[in-house]
Amino acid sequence: MRSRPRSVLVSAMFCLSCSALLFFSPARSQQKSAPKSRPQIQVVESSDDAREILQQKSPLRFTSTQEPHLAIRVDDSIKYQQMDGFGASLTEASAWLFTHKLNDAQRADVLKMLFSPSQGIGLSILRQPMGASDFSLSLYSYDDVHSGEKDFDLKHFSIDHDRPEIIPLLKAARALNSNLKIVASPWSAPGWMKTSGSMIGGSLLTQAYAPFANYFVRFVQAYQTEGIPIYAITMQNEPLNIPKDYAGMGMTAAEQTIFLRDFLGPAFHNAHLTTKIMIFDHNWDLMEFPTSVLSDASAASFAAGTATHCYGGDPGAQTALHDHFPALDIWMTECSGGEWQKGRVLEQGARLMISNTRNWAKSVVLWNLALNQKHEPHLGGCTNCRGVVTVDDSTQPAQVLRNADFTALAQASKFVLPGASRIDSNSFGEGSLEDVAFKNPDGSIVLLVLNSGATPSSFNIAWQGQYAPYTLESGAVVTFSWSAKSERRH
């Protein structure tokens, strides 16, 4: 996480107690068949100026008549990547706020709001820092020893630091959503493994490659023992960014290739781990890094694909990478919103969901799940990053405020189920109608549309020779969902 990232995300806050959230999901709840032969389309809309947040609109019905407007043509016979979902990071900062600033009822409510597929927005991915990050309360790893000491056999390895706050919340989130996937990323190896002798700065010592590989194995096994399976790991958060005031570690593409090929990949194989290994975990404008790693066939054989961040370049770089390595997947694993964002911020968040998934991302993952009103706690780096929700502890009791980051995520995560496939749809680009479509495992279809133009836009949803007209206000985002099966006449 850079100190002032050039992000594409969102702002604006909404209080749980003063703005009702509509938890409506035709994709996750059974709908009564309408007495018509054409599918009914459910409609949920949000606006950038906070007049509407996840508001259910009157349903639409397909007809045989096309209005003289733009047409978004959805073709569910053409499928692209399968989705893992949408989410954020339960950083130590977020976990601390939920644990210490909310009472039991508030904590249960916010977890339900975030993770429940039926009563919340069904977030399905968490990216977990392995040890300290810029948003932790202290510098720590899972194998800390006294200065000058080494622990190549990992005799002091322990995940006890995570037990008071992080692990209980992960278990609670998984209890609410059995589809929740955990992706884990280290900001740094333990300091004794590094040239700097510290969690800050430096790179991995040559003699520490094997211990660091075993460090990953021990972490995955320890979390599995806690009942928290690790879906995937990345080898290093932002390997080309070496921060000066929080945990970080440099790792070149050549170093990552050697580490994956000769140490981490074999270690996972020998331990019979099914956890995926993602490479890179950095910005779109640095794609020569994953290209280099994946060009080594032996290293690539251990890689599930590439993780990306949003702080440089654009998501089109993901399509270029996919075209080069079509058998390997892509996940967007970090993008933070913050107070540097100006203008229509919900629009920016909706575009993040649309542009990433249109460019082969299997996930869209924001950064901190929660921060307080001062953008804290943090160790260093970004001083004005924003969480998906804000825990405002300036009041008693504290209030949970839903940021527009939350709304942007919800317009996708509430309706696009894990395992959904992106399907074909045309899009008119920035300054007009931007969209992406999916087909859920249950056969339902979801179409997410953003009007980034300056005026309201009328358009047709066109699907299988049927049409449904709709008008979307400027800066608003809408999710349409319908059954792909014709409803029976009565």
The 10s digit of each residue's pLDDT in 123-160 is 999 999 999 999 999 999 999 999 999 999 999 999 99
Q: What is the CA radius of gyration of the chain?
A: 22
262 secondary structure, DSSP code: I
26 domain residue, yes or no: no
Instruction: Determine how many CB atoms are found less than 10 A away from the CB of residue 87.
Output: 29
**Residue 13 falls within a domain, yes or no?**
no
Catalytic entry in 45, 165, 238, 487? 238
Which residue is it, tokens 């002798």?
A: 197
pLDDT number for residue 334: 98
Domain endpoint, select from 415, 437, 458: 415
Amino acid at 207: Q
Q: Are 189 and 205 in contact (CB under 8 A)?
A: no
Are 300 and 353 in a shared domain? Answer: yes
Task: Tell me which residue range forms the domain holding 442.
Answer: 39-81+422-482
Tokens 């100190």 label which residue?
Answer: 3
Flag whether the pTM goes above 0.75. Answer: yes
d(CA 159, CA 181): 19
Which entry of 255, 334, 347, 434 is annotated as an active-site residue? 334
Within-domain flag for 59: yes
Name the more confident of 22 and 418: 418
What's the pLDDT at 255?
Answer: 98
**Which residues are paired to 392 by β-bridges?**
399
249 contacts 188 by C-beta, under 8 angstroms: yes
The residue among 247, 335, 324 whose CA lies nearest residue 293 is 324
Looking up residue 77, the CATH number of its domain turns out to be 2.60.40.1180
Residue 269 and residue 208 in one domain: yes
Q: Is 487 a catalytic residue?
A: no
pLDDT in tens, 13-61: 334 433 334 444 444 444 444 444 689 999 999 998 767 899 999 999 9
Residue 381 domain flag: yes
pLDDT at 486: 54
At residue 143, what are phi and psi to the nearest 5 degrees? -150, 75
| Separation between Cα atoms, residue 169 and residue 234, nearest integer Å | 22
Q: What is the CATH number of the domain that holds 295?
A: 3.20.20.80
Under DSSP, the state recorded for 63 is: B
Residue 473 falls in the annotated catalytic set: no
